[in-house]
Copies of this chain bind each other. A is one copy, B any other.
Amino acid sequence: MDPAMFATRTSNVSASIIREILKLTQGSDIISFGGGFPSPQSFPVEDMKRYNEELLAKYGKEILQYGTTEGFVPLREILAKQAEEIGISATKENILLTTGAQQVIDLMAKALIDKDDVVLVENPTFLAALNVFKMYEARIVGVDTDSHGLLPDDLERKIKEHKPKLVYIIPNFQNPTGVTTSFSRRKEIMDACGKAGVPVLEDDPYSLIRFEGEHLPAISSFDKWGTAVYASSFSKTVSPGIRLGYAIAGKDIMNKLVVGKQTTDVCSNNLAQRAVYEFMASGRFAEHVKDIISEYRPKRDKMFEMVERTFPKGTKLNKPHGGLFLWAKLPDGISAEQMLKPAIEKAKVAYIPGSPFYIDPSHGKDEMRMNFSNATLEQIEIGIERLGKVLSGKI
């Protein structure tokens, strides 16, 4: 087809580099720290099987019919109640069930972004969020960060300078850096955005997977202006294959998200919504999250310890308090990007180099993201050791 027929937006985004790397590693003997996949051991297969069976037996005709765009009311109610734990006041009217939290990012961009509008993000940030904003032809501007999250001063300055339509933040165990935004920063960030009337999208898929320390109130919990939207997902706590996430939003934004979803996929999968409701209402969900934490904490510890032990001297590493990822900065002269090929070929280990997470992909070449949830403890031990040797030029 004549390439001129395609919309301009499509030239901004190419197939996800992560998915391309994953394709290379599938079905092979390669140990992959590349994706953001949960552990297959963590999936509540038996629970899902039982709920699906019982629910289809009881409510089959309703479950197989169209659902409302907003989603299954009892699940919306339970999510509104759960939101209280992170300081968000919500009722079911504020909850929209979505086809993964990825859809929340897409619907928020659909609701807010005209071509050339500015979106402020942590830099680096979630690759697939950058791709959404590029699809909507936003101008993406990075805000400076440190180990406590976004710098409120820089945020204020950039709000004034760029008059953004959206600020996108991952407050807990950020993807890719693992950084958690501190309590005081959360309030300062919300104040800066709220006073300027700028919508905030708080993307929070990992917060329940916390290995140590206290849960912090959401950035949205400090929202007095009705401009914050909170997004989360069941991909890391139940299953990504069911494609279920949700948004918590005030009335004005909610109306736009709902209309956006109507034109996008009408409603979310009913069986997934009902099964997750049963899982939460029974209390099994909370137990299950504890099991995930018990599985992932030693993996994080093992990966951290092995990286410290085997990576070249001068590697910088921070220990995330939760989530799925370790982020490392290699010492001068070692390029994580250039080492990927030998890592896959010689060490049979895959990871994601830092560049695709940056707005300007010429950055982050000496950084790398390693996922610790999907590999086994043994794979982490062997894989990181091998990777350390490749990075140190020993194999």
A→B interface (CB under 8 Å): 1-3, 5-10, 13-16, 19, 35, 37-38, 40-41, 43-45, 48-49, 52-53, 56-57, 60-69, 99-100, 102-103, 106, 110-115, 117, 128, 131-132, 135-136, 165, 197-199, 225-227, 235, 238-243, 250, 252-253, 255-256, 258-260, 262-272
Chain B residues whose C-beta falls within 8 Å of the C-beta of A49 in the assembled complex: 52-53, 56-57, 60
**How many angstroms between the C-alpha atoms of A32 and B235 in the bound complex?**
37
Chain B residues whose C-beta falls within 8 Å of the C-beta of A114 in the assembled complex: 7-9
A-B contact sample (17 more), CB < 8 A, given A128-B266, A242-B271, A271-B271 = A5-B197, A5-B199, A7-B117, A7-B165, A13-B263, A35-B66, A40-B64, A43-B64, A45-B60, A48-B60, A64-B241, A100-B266, A102-B264, A106-B265, A131-B263, A241-B269, A269-B272
**How many angstroms between the C-alpha atoms of A129 and B320 in the bound complex?**
45
**How many angstroms between the C-alpha atoms of A3 and B56 in the bound complex?**
42
> Does A66 contact B99, Cβ atoms closer than 8 Å?
no
> Does B112 contact A262, Cβ atoms closer than 8 Å?
no
Chain B residues whose C-beta falls within 8 Å of the C-beta of A165 in the assembled complex: 5, 7
> Does B135 contact A14, Cβ atoms closer than 8 Å?
no
> Does B52 contact A37, Cβ atoms closer than 8 Å?
no
Distance from A289 Cβ to chain B, minimum over Cβ atoms (Å): 15
> Does B15 contact A128, Cβ atoms closer than 8 Å?
no
**How many angstroms between the C-alpha atoms of A240 and B266 in the bound complex?**
10
Distance from A87 Cβ to chain B, minimum over Cβ atoms (Å): 20
